[in-house]
C-alpha cells in the first residue's frame, strides 16, 4: 500500500505537463482572431492568409435534434472543425412560421461555438430571400447587436438564390441587409449568395458589392459540379473577389448518388491551392448519401466510426488530417 501511495503522486506529477498542455492548447479564434477580406483571400488579424474547414448543419426545422452544445463540442474535439455553419431554415415550416423556436436553435449553436473558440457562420438558409427582406434585416440586426463584438461570427445572407438575376435582385437584397448589419457590426465578414444556387460567382465578381470584408459563396456537389464550376471560381478570384465554400457535398446535387471521392479530392486540392475555406453538407441523419450520420444516430459525446456514413467518415478523415488539433 505504501508503495502504491508513493507511486500515485509521482504518476500525477509525470502527467501534469500533458494535462497543462491540453488545457492551454489555443483555439482557432485565439490563434487567428478577427478575420478580414484582403483582395481575394481571407486573412486573420495578423494578416496571414487563413483557410477554415468544418461542417454545415442541416436545415434547422428538420434536424433540430443536432442543434446542441454536445454536437458543437464533438465537431470541434473529434472532427477538428474550426468553423461550423448554423443553418436556419426560413421557409417550409422554418423561421417564417416559428421565428423564436428556430432562432433559439441557432443561438444555442453560436453560443457554444464561441465558448469552444471556433468560428460560426450564421446562415439565412433561404432560396427566396428577396421576398423576405424585412424579416432578414430584423434577424441580422438582432444577431449583429448580440454578436457583433465577437470575432467568431460570420454572416451568410442568402443561402442559394435560384433563378433571379444578380444585378437587379440579389445584389440589392445583399446591400439592404449589409447596411443593417453594419449599423451594429462594422467589420465581421459578410458572405453573399450568388446566382444559380450559389454557383455563378463569376457573375457576381463582375459587379461586386462595395464595402469591406465581403466574400461570395460558392456551392458544389462532387458528382454534379466539376471543372466548369472550378473555372468560374478561378475567374472570380482573378477578378479580385474572395470566396467561401459554405456548402458542398461529396455526392449528387440531390444529396444522393455515390460518394465521389476522386472528384471531392480534386475540389479539396483546388480549395487548398487557393486557400478557400469550406463547410461540408451536412450534420444530419437524413437517409441520403450526403448525410454524415446514419439514421437514428444522436450526438451524445464521441461516436463510433460505424455510426457515421461513408461520406461522414471520408470528410472527418480530411478534417482531422488538415486541421490542427483543437484549433
Write out pLDDT tens, residues 199-224. 999 999 999 999 999 999 999 999 99
Active-site residue flag, 247: yes
Go through the domains of the chain in sequence order and give each one's CATH number. Answer: 51-322 (3.20.20.80)
Confidence of residue 14 (pLDDT cuts 50, 70, 90): very low
C-beta separation of 308 from 299 below 8 A: no
Which of 160, 263, 288, 318 does the annotation list as catalytic? 160
pLDDT above 50: residue 117 = yes
Q: Is the dihedral of CA 97, 59, 288, 285 positive or negative?
A: negative
C-alpha pair distances (Å), 278 with each of 82, 97, 163, 289, 294: 10, 30, 24, 19, 22
Element (H, E) at 86: strand 83-89
Q: How far apart are CA 160 and CA 38, in angstroms?
A: 24
Active-site residue flag, 100: no
Residue 324 has a pLDDT of 81
H-helix segments, 52-198: 69-77, 99-116, 133-147, 171-184, 195-198
Its pTM surpasses 0.85: yes
Rounded mean pLDDT of 73-93? 98
pLDDT above 70: residue 163 = yes
More confident site: 316 or 6: 316
Instruction: Count CB neighbours of 304 within 10 A.
Output: 7
Q: Which of 119, 63, 70, 112 is nearest to 88 (CA)?
A: 63
Rounded mean pLDDT of 106-115? 98
Which of 102, 112, 156, 247 does the annotation list as catalytic? 247
Mean pLDDT, the chain, rounded, equals: 93
Name, in order, each residue with C-beta under 8 angstroms of 201's C-beta and a sequence gap of 6 or more: 194, 216, 217, 218, 232, 233, 236, 241, 243
Q: Which of 197, 176, 27 is nearest to 126 (CA)?
A: 197
Joined together, the cell numbers standing for residue 163 give: 433563378
C-beta separation of 83 from 118 below 8 A: yes
Confidence of residue 228 (pLDDT cuts 50, 70, 90): very high
Residue 20 has a pLDDT of 41
Amino acid at each position: 500500500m505504501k508503495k502504491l501511495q508513493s507511486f500515485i503522486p509521482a504518476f500525477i506529477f509525470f502527467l501534469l505537463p500533458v494535462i497543462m498542455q491540453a488545457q492551454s492548447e489555443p483555439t482557432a479564434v485565439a490563434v487567428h482572431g478577427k478575420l478580414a477580406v484582403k483582395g481575394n483571400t481571407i486573412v486573420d488579424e495578423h494578416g496571414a492568409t487563413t483557410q477554415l474547414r468544418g461542417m454545415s448543419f442541416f436545415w434547422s426545422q428538420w434536424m433540430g435534434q443536432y442543434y446542441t452544445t454536445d454536437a458543437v463540442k464533438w465537431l470541434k474535439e473529434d472532427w477538428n472543425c474550426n468553423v461550423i455553419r448554423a443553418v436556419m431554415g426560413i421557409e417550409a415550416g422554418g423561421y417564417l412560421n416559428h421565428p423564436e423556436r428556430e432562432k433559439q436553435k441557432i443561438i444555442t449553436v453560436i453560443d457554444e461555438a464561441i465558448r469552444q473558440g471556433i468560428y460560426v457562420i450564421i446562415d439565412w438558409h433561404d432560396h427566396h430571400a428577396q421576398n423576405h427582406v424585412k424579416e432578414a434585416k430584423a434577424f441580422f440586426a438582432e444577431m449583429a447587436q448580440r454578436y457583433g463584438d465577437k470575432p467568431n461570427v460570420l454572416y451568410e445572407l442568402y443561402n442559394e438564390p435560384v433563378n433571379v438575376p444578380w444585378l437587379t435582385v440579389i445584389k440589392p437584397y445583399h446591400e439592404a441587409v449589409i447596411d443593417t448589419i453594419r449599423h451594429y457590426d462594422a467589420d465581421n465578414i459578410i458572405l453573399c449568395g450568388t446566382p444559380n444556387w450559389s454557383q455563378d460567382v463569376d457573375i457576381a465578381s463582375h459587379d461586386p458589392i462595395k464595402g469591406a470584408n465581403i466574400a461570395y459563396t460558392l456551392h458544389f456537389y462532387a458528382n454534379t459540379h466539376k471543372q466548369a464550376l472550378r473555372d468560374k471560381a478561378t475567374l472570380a478570384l482573378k477578378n479580385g473577389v474572395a470566396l467561401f465554400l459554405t456548402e458542398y457535398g461529396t455526392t449528387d446535387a440531390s444529396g444522393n448518388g455515390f460518394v465521389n471521392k476522386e472528384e471531392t479530392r480534386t475540389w479539396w486540392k483546388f480549395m487548398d491551392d487557393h486557400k478557400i475555406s469550406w463547410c461540408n453538407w451536412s450534420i444530419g441523419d437524413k437517409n441520403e448519401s450526403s448525410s454524415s450520420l446514419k439514421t437514428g444516430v444522436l450526438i451524445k459525446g464521441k461516436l463510433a466510426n460505424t455510426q457515421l456514413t461513408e461520406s461522414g467518415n471520408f470528410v472527418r478523415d480530411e478534417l482531422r488530417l488538415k486541421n490542427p488539433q483543437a484549433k
